[in-house]
Amino acid sequence: MKVDFRERIRQGPILCDGAMGTLLDLYEYEEQPHEIQNLKNPDIVERIHREYAEAGAEIIETNTFSANRFRLTQFHLEEKLEEINRRAVEIARRAAGEKVYVAGAVGPTGKLLEPIGKLRFQDARAAFREQIEILVKEGVDLLILETFVSLQELDEAISAAKEVSDLPIVAQKAFPEDGSILSGTFPIEVVEHILSRGVDVVGANCTVGPQRMFSLIRSMYKDGVILSAQPAAGIPTLLNGRAVYHTTPEYLGAYAKELVQAGVTLVGACCGSTPAHIRQIRKALDELQGKREEERGRSEIVPRIVIKQAEIKVVELGKEKESERKDEWSLFAKNIRKKFLTSVELDIPRGIEMSAVLEGAGYLHKHGVDAINITDGARARLRMSSVALSHMVQQSVGIEAMTHLATRDRNMIGLQAELLGAHALGLRNILCITGDPTSIGDYPHATSVFDIDSVGLIRAVRSMNDGRDLMGNTIEHHTSFFIACAANPIADDMDVEIRKLERKIAAGADVIYTQPLYELRTLEQFLKRMEQWQRPVMVGLLPLRSYKHAEFLHNEIPGMAIPDSIRDRLRHAGERAASVGVQLTIEFLKEAKAMVAGAYFMPPFKKYDIIPPILESCL
């Protein structure tokens, strides 16, 4: 008979099982999600459980890692959620018998939580609770919350588990395969955070192999903490579309012994592992236990393994002296609110010939413009990388760039890599946008990524300014980006627009760039609604060239509205329409300049020469 699990983990090391998905793939049951096999092929799932138990595992995990509502919905299986989870427990309990513990496996939702993504905290918790209620009702002995990258999401899973029952909880975070993660206090901070939530066991699983897991555990060790470690069988390679792992059972067994000696109580394995790996870990644990009993027989004093916590220099990333940080800010950031700033968006041609852009930037720099806005594939059209072109402008002309970065074309990894590269190239001003869908651009069948939206990108930039990536992992050194966001004061639903802007401000936006405006009343109403946030505003200005130009913008470009009075004035101007358009911009800016921090010009058709006269008339 099994003793209570909490009592068992106080008695010494306990062995968990290995991967379920890896075995199903090996046995050629590759249909996704693997949890569907609980219904289609319960006999093979039970066979895998029995193989792990026979290999020496004292804990087997239910085949429910991806059996929450959000993951199952991806496969149109949400209606089978209860049946999949219920059958999983039945199968595992049948295989476990009276001696092996059954752990209800709970994985992340596969969605990004707000404010990075769109999944609300309460919805994530509800999904976890829904799944955990079934697992508990069917009789699991404990819960293993595993492979959580986001601590916030793990918090929601822990809260859901505690709302449902008082079963023992093992909470495991997934760490990146990155040695720099060990250079600071992050692992021990994670341990302390999870322990504060009242779990029984805390640790790490997946993503890293045995050696990196050992390093993580050494960094996580703390007296009195019950640690768990379930490393992957190394880093996989792809063979015919299947992940193939190369770590041998003997190697994993040797490191399992090291893990236990480093303070781990619950040990097992994750992706790429098989019963052969678990058998070797069992052998290693038995040898370690035999050695301890032999030493105990030679002396009444039981030797205690003590791992000294590494001496850690605590550096609060992003907390450097303000004076030191200011030295790294852009001139644009330093001058905001100290002088009326101007930035001009340049038209980016196709191809690699950018001499016209550099000439335009040089002309504007000569006439006192503070920054050049470089767009990122605006209207989903193929153009040179905004980061590369911004660097060319800064290096060749000496004027700062306001680099636009869209979330359409890159996933979370690519976006953050682009930011690191931009900073290394000396770019310090980033305007975060979601971007237009590919369906309207040069390649309508191309994939739009949109891992995150502009709010998530703003948060990523702010996190890097604090020395962390989006998931809270250290990047060792902080960045010094000045973060801009966009807003549309003439949106069809201003309540929605203001709520969106509020999220951008909360995520870390420093300055707001508006869509082109033509009426002072619109600007005043917008500023009044956002005055609570006290953020500087760069008002958008697009001088009109003709009545036809105004009609096109008003009727065919989303987010643009040209008042009737202005379109009528241009219509009656005839051949003088271009000069009237400039005069309209001057009249508007003269009244608006006292309300805003600067002007953001979008001159049409490369007419950069209209900017100096406007500035001379208004400033």
**Percentage of residues of the chain with pLDDT beyond 90:** 73
Strand-pairing partners, residue 60, are: 102
CA angle 590, 510, 461 (to 5 degrees): 140
Contact at 8 Å (CB) between 506 and 494?
Answer: no
533: which DSSP letter?
Answer: G
Nearest to 256 by CA among 234, 274, 276, 230: 230
| Nearest CA-CA partner of 407 in 432, 370, 387, 390 | 432
Region 115-127 average pLDDT = 91
pLDDT of residue 448: 87
When pLDDT is averaged across residues 1-9 and rounded to a whole number, the result is 92
Q: How confident is the model at residue 320 (pLDDT cuts 50, 70, 90)?
A: very low
- Kindly state the tokens that stand for 146: 């595993």
- The pLDDT > 70 percentage for the chain reads 92
Amino acid type, 128: F
Supply φ then ψ for residue 345, to 5 degrees: -90, 130
Domain chopping of the chain, boundaries: 5-298, 322-544+597-612
Query: Would you say residue 258 has pLDDT above 50?
Result: yes
Q: What is the spatial distance between Cα 147 and Cα 206, in angstroms, rounded to a whole number? A: 6
Q: How far is CA 326 from the centre of its chain?
A: 27
> pLDDT of 558-614, one tens digit each?
778 899 999 999 999 999 999 999 999 999 999 999 999 999 999 998 899 999 999
Across 279-286, average pLDDT: 95
CA gap 503, 530 in Å, rounded: 12
Sequence-separated (6 or more) residues with CB below 8 Å from residue 550: 544, 562, 566, 567, 570
- 257 in Cβ contact with 7 (< 8 Å): no
CATH code for residues 322-544+597-612? 3.20.20.220
Residue type, 115: P
Q: Is there a contact between 590 and 618 (Cβ–Cβ < 8 Å)?
A: yes
Residue 223 vs residue 8, higher pLDDT: 8
pLDDT digits (tens, 9 = 90+) for 401-438: 999 999 999 999 999 999 999 999 999 999 999 998 88
Of 408, 404, 381, 382, the residue nearest 393 (C-alpha): 404
Please say whether the dihedral angle defined by the alpha carbons of residues 566, 570, 572 and 578, taken in this order, is positive or negative: positive
Residue pair 572/564 in contact (Cβ under 8 Å)? The answer is: no
d(CA 137, CA 156): 20
The predicted pLDDT at position 322 comes to 43
State the pLDDT at residue 190: 87
- Summarize the confidence of residues 120-135 as an average pLDDT: 97
Q: For residue 375, give the DSSP letter.
A: -
> What does the pLDDT look like over 46-92, one tens digit per residue?
999 999 999 999 999 999 999 999 999 999 999 999 999 999 999 99
* Residue 182 pLDDT: 55
Do residues 73 and 121 make contact, with C-beta atoms less than 8 angstroms apart?
A: no
Q: Dump pLDDT digits (tens) for 345-386.
A: 999 999 999 999 999 999 999 999 999 999 999 888 899 999
Residue 243: pLDDT above 80? no
Identical fold, 5-298 and 322-544+597-612: yes
Q: What does the pLDDT read at residue 85?
A: 98
Q: Do residues 267 and 16 lie in contact, with contact meaning Cβ atoms separated by under 8 Å? A: yes
Distances (CA, A) of 47 to 20, 22, 43, 51, 124: 11, 14, 6, 6, 32
Q: Which fold, 5-298? A: TIM Barrel (3.20.20)
Cα-Cα-Cα-Cα torsion 2, 92, 62, 227, nearest 10 degrees, comes to 20
Task: Inform me whether the pLDDT recorded for 308 exceeds 70.
Answer: no
Closest CA to 436 of 369, 512, 375: 375
Taking only the tens place, the pLDDT of each residue in 90-103 is: 999 999 999 999 99
Other beta carbons within 10 angstroms of residue 558's beta carbon come to 10
- pLDDT tens string 172-215: 998 875 544 555 567 888 889 999 999 999 999 987 888 888 88
Average pLDDT, the chain: 90
DSSP secondary structure letters along 156-208: HHHHHHHHH----EEEEE---S-GGGGGSSHHHHHHHHHHTTT-SEEEEESSS
Name the pLDDT band for 492 (thresholds 50, 70, 90): confident
CA distance 460 to 37: 38
Q: C-alpha angle 604/605/608, rounded to 5°? A: 70
The pLDDT of residue 298 is 54
Q: What is the largest CA-CA distance in the chain?
A: 106
